[in-house]
Structure 1
């Protein structure tokens, strides 16, 4: 089974949370397979937020690599690794995260959630 790749970014603002999540194909083109611009009208812990996003948008039926820029503390990361043993969590920064940061800002501006799945022309 092929590994799936995701990038996640979120930020808290004014008692709300905006999150950007995308599934992508690694490589030169970084083709996007799915993106979600998620607006949450509540404040929750980093752990609960990440679990909620994974449960809602990440295909956890196979191996997954989840990249996040959040400075999630080691304690939270250890709990996530225990709950999702098939997900490899990695921190990234810089230009790789620009798209999901834009999705985050977009969700906070729109105050609603938008999810888009790209049509897959190839048959695996």
Structure 2
């Protein structure tokens, strides 16, 4: 629906000489993968949050971002950035929050009674 809307307005803009179509900027191929990765992430999020719950999913998502930033700081450090005990402790506390917050959200295991 949104793409159709934009194509209609672009067509009208081109017809009345208010817009022109230009070439995409030059750059590495992976520069254009952000939209696709975003769509996949949103589809994954909307599916998995039903099973984990919002709190657990959010804590896992933030924890994953923290671990990712830690790995970037370790393998590609920038000047003035140091991996400290505070950073590692914060990441561990986030995952502790996942465990504590997620325990109440886990579905109850239903054991089949065998007769």
TM-score higher than 0.5 here?
Answer: no
Scaled to the shorter chain, the TM-score interval is under 0.3
TM-score (normalizing by structure 2): 0.20
More strand by share: 1
More helix by share: 2
Larger Rg: 2
TM-score (normalizing by structure 1): 0.19
